[in-house]
Structure 1
Amino acid sequence: MYDREARFRMEDTMNAARLEYTEKGVMNLAARRCDIIRISQSSAVLALLTQYSLPREFYLDIPDARITKIGCILMKVFANNTVEVRFLRLVTKKELDKIFVYSTHPAHRDRVLDVRA
């Protein structure tokens, strides 16, 4: 399914995020902090703070941009505590703009929100 989708260009960013997933079936909901270092409309690269086992499916929350519950599938795990994930839905252009406004990356320093939109 994912190999037939159009690829979107990844853009560097630096946003705080939170991963939410269930441990041991449906008994325990766990939340872990991470950083988004690259993002596109269909995927992202996340930097994990510590080494822990991540399930195949989880939710991604971006509290600064007020974006909640983006469903994710784990695609690749890299050795330097980063993972590549694919989103279960495309992130809209408006949501991407909100993410870039709240980014601490130097490339997004002059981004502002359009309050009329």
Structure 2
Amino acid sequence: MTVLVWVGVGVLGGFGAVLRFVVDGAVATKMGRSFPFGTFAVNISGAVVLGFVAGLALHHDQNLLAGTAVIGSYTTFSTWMFETQRLSEERQLSTAAVNVVVSVVLGVLAAAAGQWIGVRL
């Protein structure tokens, strides 16, 4: 791995993190905060893009930059779990369960759809 790839991971990872912040905030502002719609939108859109990248079967360095750096920093498992735990603490158990089930099911379907598209290009 070259220094340029390391720098690319840092720069593109920063871009993905900022993009997550912007998308999460925009969606949460529009939809409200009763359900973590911002994190949900980020993770589902990230699953589609990651599936797409996987379907393209890129070279290792390209996959590292696109998949790990950009999409890995864009999506957020830890925030998803934190928000689910917060919903549980607030006794919103049904909402927490919906967050888990719908995120997992749609995330897998989104990744499969993205991969299906990527393979065909």
Give the TM-score band, short-chain normalised: under 0.3
TM-score, normalised via structure 2 length: 0.22
TM-score, normalised via structure 1 length: 0.22
- Greater relative CO (CA pairs within 8 A, separation 6+): 2
Which structure has the bigger radius of gyration? 2
Higher strand share: 1
Higher helix share: 2
